[in-house]
Every structure is written in structure tokens, then in C-alpha cells.
Amino acid sequence: MSENKSRPTQADAEAAVRTLIEWAGDDPNREGLLETPKRVAKAYRELFAGYDVDPREYLARTFDEVGGYDELVVLKDIPVVSMCEHHMLPFLGKAHVGYLPRNRVVGISKLARVVHGFARRMQIQEKLTAQVAEAIQDILQPKGVGVVIVSEHSCMTMRGVNTPGTRLTTSHLLGEVRDDSRTRQEFFELVRSGDR
């Protein structure tokens, strides 16, 4: 949003939902739908909470005492819930985030928070994947970063081509994870380990 334009109010959001209910052909004043505009606005506030945070700030606190550890750190199966910017329908899946530390590490919960912070915005999966990887690279300055996201998109499964079960896989590799074939292979093996 531009700086000189104020954010619409809760009442504005609820009015928009009432309009959509009417547009769909139903009556927003019937008993089952009376509270729906309020519930939808509240749900959207949660789904778009990423606009109210800077996910990069989660990476600010690091630990220098790593005992000489210089191998890949990989956090797998981070839940991803995001909204496709093209249809405002959710895509859900898992993120796998890894980095090759230079001389400091970050608490692993912070990696999940970075994913969640960027995911809770309207966007495409490709952009989300790149945002997570580039934030880790910029803030932690590791030797390399790898991010893989696998998700199912409601815009494909509920409408359009109606293909439930299809999954989109995106990856963004930086530094040695991209450039060194052994490190890249190790990263992808660690991401795949435990898959059935």
C-alpha cells in the first residue's frame, strides 16, 4: 500500500464480504451468514499477518559459539500457508530450508518464522521461495542457502483445470549450495531423506 493511503477498516472489509455473498447469489442477512463477514475479515487478517512484520528481523539474533560446526543446517517440513496473488486462493505445503553457516547460526525456530512471515502475504510460490533464501543470505551471510517449497494450489485443484493432488516444487539456491555440486547434492539428499 502507498504511504499516503490509509488501510481500509474492519467495517470496510466486512462490507466487501457482504457484497461478495450477494454477488454469489445468497443473502448475507440470513441466519447462517450473519456473522460470516466478521469471521472472514478476521481470518483474512490472520492469513495476511505477514504484511505487519519484517520477517528478516527474526534472523537478527545469532549464535557465534558453534563449536567449529561448518556443515549444512537443514530444517524440513515447515508448514506453508499462503495466498496466490492471482486468485486469492490458498496454497498449502511444506518448506525445506538449509544453509551452510560461515561462523554463526540462528535458532531453528527463526527459520520457520521467516517462512511464515513471508508466506502470510499474497504472492506466487516462486517469489516466496526466493524471498526466504535471499533473506537468510543477506542477514546471516552464510556460505550458501537452499530453499525448496512443495505445495498444492487451490487455484489448480478447486477451479480451472481441477487437478487435485498436483504439487508445485520450487527451489532457490545461493552460494555454495548452488555452485558446489557436492554441497548441492547433499542439500537435496537431506531434503529428500525420510520421504516415503
Query: What is the SS3 string spanning 93-132?
Result: EEEEEEEECCCCEECHHHHHHHHHHHHCCEECHHHHHHHH
- β-bridge partners, 163: none
Contacts of 133 (CB under 8 A, 6+ apart): 145, 146, 147, 172, 173, 174
Helix %, strand %, coil % of the chain (to 5): 45, 25, 30
Residues with a known catalytic role: 84-87, 125, 153, 155
Check whether 87 is labelled as a binding-site residue: yes
Residue 172 counted as an annotated binding residue = no
Q: Which positions make up the binding site for Zn(2+)?
A: 84, 87, 155
Residue ranges of the binding site = 84, 87, 155
